Amino acid sequence: MIQKKICMIGSPAVGKTSLVRRYVEGVFTDEYLTTIGVKIDRKTLKHGGQDVNLILWDLAGDDAFQPLKTSYLRGMSGYLLVADGTRRSTLEHALQLQQRIEEAHVDVPFVVLLNKHDLLDEWDIDEEFVQALRGRGWDIIESSALVGFGVEEAFAQLTARMLTTAAA
């Protein structure tokens, strides 16, 4: 079976753990517990008729207290760059993280998730900025771990990109 390691990367409290729980267990808990270190989960999905075993590395949110350990990225086939759509600063931070990953010579596919789409009235993301990122060829998906919106799509899209990259 094909195995792919996916890392969940982003600022603290953007919903990385909730997205994984929604995807793997199909549940959402409205309780924020900051992740310490890394949590690893697995999920098998079918893509193009073949089973793909995803190993999901839910990394602690990057900040001054727990900076991203680039050693955790070793062997990663792709990553989800998660931002909180109600906090513009988390998208700016996600861009910095993407740059750090690129500088660490990790050139793998990624998908940007603008999470917490259920809080549309508090949405704080500039649509033109998002369009500009899309113009750079970035995949950007709006998601909500709370209602399950965009979650399956994000993992499926990243898987497709990882497999395409591997085949190229």
- Is 124 a binding residue for another protein by CB under 8 A? The answer is yes
- Is 46 a binding residue for another protein by CB under 8 A? The answer is no
- Is 44 a binding residue for another protein by CB under 8 A? The answer is no
Strand ranges in 11-153 using DSSP code E only, listed in sequence order: 38-47, 50-59, 78-84, 110-115, 139-142
Cα 31 to its chain centre, rounded Å, is: 20
Nearer to another protein, 74 or 164 (CB): 74
- Is 16 a binding residue for another protein by CB under 8 A? The answer is no
Interatomic CA distance for residues 156 and 137, integer angstroms: 17
Nearer to another protein, 103 or 121 (CB): 121
Nearer to another protein, 22 or 90 (CB): 90
Cα 147 to its chain centre, rounded Å, is: 17
- Is 121 a binding residue for another protein by CB under 8 A? The answer is yes
Window 48 to 67, contacts with another protein (CB under 8 A): 55, 57, 61, 63, 65-66
Three-state DSSP class for residue 14: coil
- Is 104 a binding residue for another protein by CB under 8 A? The answer is no
Task: Write the CB contacts of 136 (distance below 8 Å, at least 6 apart in sequence).
Answer: none
**Only segment of 100-108, 109-117, 125-133, 150-158 that touches another protein (CB under 8 A):** 125-133
- Is 160 a binding residue for another protein by CB under 8 A? The answer is no
CA-to-CA separations, 156 to 9, 15, 79, 152, in angstroms, rounded: 17, 18, 12, 6
Interatomic CA distance for residues 35 and 59, integer angstroms: 7
Note the residues at the interface with another protein (CB under 8 A). 5, 12-13, 32-34, 36-42, 55, 57, 61, 63, 65-66, 69, 71-72, 74-75, 87, 89, 120-124, 126-128, 131
